[in-house]
Amino acid sequence: MNLIELKSEISKRMPLKRYEHVIRVMETAEKLAVKHTIPVDHAIQAALYHDIAKYMERDALRSILILEVDDQRLQSFHHELWHGPVGAIIARDEFNVTNIDVLNAIRYHTTGRAGMSKLEKLIYVSDMIEPGRDFPHVNELREIAEENLDKAMEACIHQSVQFLVSKKVPVFPDSIDCYNEHLALISEI
């Protein structure tokens, strides 16, 4: 499937506003991939698929989680976290994506995790800073992402965890592990 066909297929699975977000994430990821020496084709692929499951029915998401996802803790957290792991499964099963790094970038784009690859960090950061995002300090995050991907990941996961804590909602353990790892990493830089 070529890029035009893939974009068309992805656009059918979500509202126009979400598709526009996906395209902005792809463009951001492509630009940052060049800057941080990450394979551009992997960045484009992961970005295009990252929200492919976002608009699935909750019961369908849960069914796939139960059958396919080894981390059953997800079921006890907000369903917004489910579309990452399910999206990776859809990319693998329906679109024959076999690159593990691409699949992990799709899977962990909402939670992060300890031990993220450069591509995983790139998609997480690109999703947070794409030009359509507008929240306090997003421009600072964009500037950091241009300079240092690890520092950008630390700043983005900090922003995410801080936001969740301010809303008094549970933080998925992978996000806490990611935050702790990047905090330690940044103190070494």
Chain segment 103-143, per-residue pLDDT in tens: 999 999 999 999 999 999 999 999 999 999 999 899 999 99
Domains and CATH numbers, the chain: 3-188 (1.10.3210.10)
Nearest to 122 by CA among 91, 146, 94: 146
**62 alpha-carbon distance from chain centroid:** 19
Token digits for 108?
A: 């962990």
Summarize pLDDT for 3-28 with one digit per residue, the tens: 999 999 999 999 999 999 999 999 99
pTM equals 0.95
The kind and range of the H/E element at 35 are helix 16-35
Q: What's the pLDDT at 187?
A: 67
